[in-house]
Amino acid sequence: MPGGALAEVSATNDVNKTEAPITWKAYFMCAFAAFGGIYFGYDSGYINGVKGMAYFIHQQTGKPYPGPNPSDEEKAAFALEAWRDSLITSILSAGTFFGAIIAGDVADFIGRRLTIIAGCTVFLIGVILQTASAGLGLLVAGRLIAGFGVGFVSAIIILYMSECSPKKIRGAVVSGYQFAITIGLLLAACVDYGTQNRMDTGSYRIPIALQMLWALFLGLGIAFLPDSPRYFVKRGKLDKAADSLARLRGQPVNSDYVQHELAEIVANHEYELQVVPQGTYWSSWANCFKGGLSKPSSNLRRTILGTSMQMMQQWTGVNFIFYFGTTFFTQLGTINNPFLISLITTLVNVCSTPISFWTIERFGRRPLLIWGALGMLICEFLVAIMGTVDGDNPATVRAMIAFICIYIFFFASTWGPGAWVVIGEIFPLPIRSRGVGLSTASNWLWNCIITVITPYLVNPDKAYLQAKVFFLWGALCTVCFVYAYLLVPETKGLSLEQVDKMMEETTPRTSSRWVPHTTFAAELGMTEKGTLAPEIVEDVERKGSVV
Ligand code: BGC
């Protein structure tokens, strides 16, 4: 046996005895990582305000400041050129896209926790470069590097939280990450608001430099937490997996709860390795795309589900409100303070997200995604119709804003958290880190595509769709509705190993009726003493040690 091996792991065939009761400490330990969402939200949010700051525009472009009472043309001319604007915004997504894909590999190699710490370090370097910048070059380089760090953190936090959380609260814990994203967006809007009128480098340096706090807090805090027990099983370090589970569940290492949960993770991993054997580095990547399209539980289907889930989340059109909201509300006319309306939508986003902590565990992922898409598409079509038919009437515009807020409410309480929860749950351990990385990369890719395309849809010198753009978002949300109904399985209340079994035995539409009926340990082999068959333990330890 390799060093640090476990002599034996006691197992059970009782599906209800595979996890310890939840303690507050366990809750806190699993939820701490959600803090990383602040990064995501703040980093994608702060740049919008900075790009509109007079000092920043002047410094970047050399354009003279407009006079005391500028005409509309003067105001419009005093802005970043389209290429510069697009480069500064989208370079972050390029970094995050590649960061998220690579992060999966790194997380299997050095562990989930160290990958998050590495992500924080890379991010800090990127932020220091951006803070020091006084022109385009360093700013873009800094955003690319910081984006890389955000990619690491945003993918691996989902993985870490999903793998560490007890099954009953996993959805709520991962929704905490979405809550942190919304707080990050709000903080960015507030800090930008506070520094926008400064006529020195503090206007952009303060919002940029503040991000270092989030990185330091997350990186230092997570250093005190155990790594994911499932990571240790993957690496064949079962003794460490047992220690980690004991800490996370607040139980002694030799308690039946810890042992039984470990036995399930080990037996499930062994099972998965039998179905799709691990090979070289490249063939293990290829495993993410194996198993064919017709089988709902195949690796290929899961990879498509995860990546398309994040694509659909972007297709709901939510970032149209967060990235282009101010411009859109200005175009609606009859509104005195578009910034205020943007602040209100950001606040609705923050306040509605915690509802999902309860609903995602009470009703499940599937109903939330189905009903959420329905709610959003109705609001979007209403906004489109009202704006097209009677868009010049102030009363109609007020009603449109109300429906946009209800739309945000639906997003924040359903698809916002739901998409992250689902991608953390659907992949089997051998491909989980890569699957989550690819899905997160898809979020950033579509985020970027939509950010690049939208100006062409709404700018006055381009398609200038105004409220009609909501017909497009409504149509895409209708696709989300059908997608959720046909393709998303119910994963509520199941351990990640039980999710694996459920996906094999059901279709998405029958999944919510599935209940666990046997344990992996009982299926693969238990001794008469009630321990996991030693050959399984040895096999997982041996294979893990050569990853
Ligand atoms: C999405 C982001 C979005 C944010 C809004 C996240 O789940 O992935 O693109 O800006 O929610 O709260």
3-state secondary structure of 531: strand
pLDDT, tens digit (0-9, with 9 covering 90-100), for 339-355:
788 889 999 999 999 99
Residue 487 CA to residue 480 CA, distance in Å, equals: 10
- The set of residues, in sequence order, having a beta carbon less than 8 Å from that of 371 and lying 6+ positions away, is 414
Q: What tokens were used for 88?
A: 């500064």
Best substitution site from 93, 318, 423 to test ligand 1's pocket, by max atoms within 8 Å of Cβ?
A: 318
Q: What tokens were used for 115?
A: 């990958």
Q: Which residues pair with 247 in a beta bridge?
A: none
- The set of residues, in sequence order, having a beta carbon less than 8 Å from that of 336 and lying 6+ positions away, is none
Q: What is the maximal distance between C-alpha atoms in the chain?
A: 87
Instruction: Identify residue 428 by its one-letter amino acid code.
Output: P
The pLDDT of residue 104? 93
The pLDDT of residue 187? 95
pLDDT < 50 positions in the chain: 1-3
Residue 452 CA to residue 258 CA, distance in Å, equals: 49
CA 438 from chain centre, in angstroms, equals 11
Q: Which residues pair with 532 in a beta bridge?
A: 526
Q: What tokens were used for 58?
A: 């002047």
Q: H or E element: which one contains 175?
A: helix 170-195
The pLDDT of residue 2? 45
The pLDDT of residue 7? 65
Instruction: Identify residue 237 by its one-letter amino acid code.
Output: K
The pLDDT of residue 1? 42
Number of the ligand 1 atom closest to the C-alpha atom of 182: 12
Could you tell me the distance, in angstroms and rounded to a whole number, from the CA of residue 464 to the centre of ligand 1?
Answer: 25
Any residues with Cβ below 6 Å from ligand 1, and which? 178, 181-182, 185, 313, 318-319, 322, 349, 416, 443, 447
The pLDDT of residue 414? 98
CA 318 from chain centre, in angstroms, equals 14
Nearest CA to ligand 1 atom 11: 416
Best substitution site from 157, 174, 178, 409 to test ligand 1's pocket, by max atoms within 8 Å of Cβ?
A: 178
Q: What tokens were used for 452?
A: 């690049």
